[in-house]
Chain A
């Protein structure tokens, strides 16, 4: 299996621009998570989906952030408009378990720099 695939691996953009991060989970996994990693705050859960349905988005920092999962094999995290404080590494992870926590399989991350 190819694992969780994220794109782009690196993104540099200017403040105010729209950013879209993409994720392909491991086939057959029911749950998908978006995390943000910064030096100051560590790994923070932004949102997670179960069977393509958003379950908990309480970690999404503000309305500028949105996430979608139109099907079982694809998810996006969008930031519009982006701000310098959004600079971070964004990880997507998937899990084969729906109703109970288990191993998370992380992608290699998307490093976002907002100038």
Chain B
């Protein structure tokens, strides 16, 4: 099955700086890569996703890049704010014929005011 590795496990940045979280995956058939944000006491919530037919996707201060050859994808958060503090999970999946997201182990991001 798919194996998703995520780094770093913890990340602290100053408010206004950028944060980058990286993930690698093992199954070359994976073609859907979402990122979820989990705030304290809540369930994970989708913040952005990318499919394998594009290399980059942006939504305001967050962006995701995908390198299918190297089998890695990254989340970039610019101009970080204290409310960005949370645990972020990457995931990978095959979109058809399967209905299972394989999650990374999570990155705890702390934005220091």
Select A101's contact among B43, B95, B103, beta carbons within 8 Å: B95
Closest to B104 in A: A42
A93 at the interface (CB under 8 A from B): yes
Contacts of A91 in B (CB 8 A): 43-44
Closest 4 CB pairs of A and B: A106-B43, A43-B103, A42-B105, A101-B93
Interface residues on B, range: 20 to 34
A100 at the interface (CB under 8 A from B): yes
In the complex, what distance in Å separates the CA atom of A106 from the CA atom of B89?
13
Query: Residues of A with Cβ closer than 8 Å to B?
Result: 4, 31, 42-43, 45, 48, 50, 55-56, 91, 93, 95, 99-101, 103-104, 106-109
The answer to whether A109 and B96 touch across the interface, beta carbons within 8 angstroms, is: no
Q: A42-B104, A45-B101 are in contact. Are A99 and B43 (CB under 8 A)?
A: no
The answer to whether B44 and A43 touch across the interface, beta carbons within 8 angstroms, is: yes
Select B106's contact among A42, A99, A106, beta carbons within 8 Å: A42
The answer to whether A93 and B93 touch across the interface, beta carbons within 8 angstroms, is: no
The answer to whether A101 and B99 touch across the interface, beta carbons within 8 angstroms, is: yes
Select A106's contact among B32, B45, B49, B105, beta carbons within 8 Å: B45
In the complex, what distance in Å separates the CA atom of A93 from the CA atom of B34?
15
Contacts of A43 in B (CB 8 A): 44, 89, 103, 106
The answer to whether A101 and B104 touch across the interface, beta carbons within 8 angstroms, is: no
The answer to whether B99 and A55 touch across the interface, beta carbons within 8 angstroms, is: yes
The answer to whether A45 and B100 touch across the interface, beta carbons within 8 angstroms, is: yes
The answer to whether B106 and A48 touch across the interface, beta carbons within 8 angstroms, is: no
The answer to whether A108 and B44 touch across the interface, beta carbons within 8 angstroms, is: no
In the complex, what distance in Å separates the CA atom of A43 from the CA atom of B38?
12
In the complex, what distance in Å separates the CA atom of A104 from the CA atom of B103?
12
Q: Report the minimum CB–CB distance from A76 to chain B (whole Å).
A: 18
The answer to whether A101 and B41 touch across the interface, beta carbons within 8 angstroms, is: no
Q: Report the minimum CB–CB distance from B36 to chain A (whole Å).
A: 8
Closest to A59 in B: B100
**CB<8 Å pairs between A and B, sample of 22:** A42-B103, A42-B105, A42-B106, A45-B100, A56-B100, A99-B96, A100-B95, A100-B99, A101-B32, A101-B95, A101-B98, A103-B34, A103-B49, A104-B36, A104-B101, A106-B36, A106-B43, A106-B44, A107-B43, A108-B41, A108-B43, A109-B42
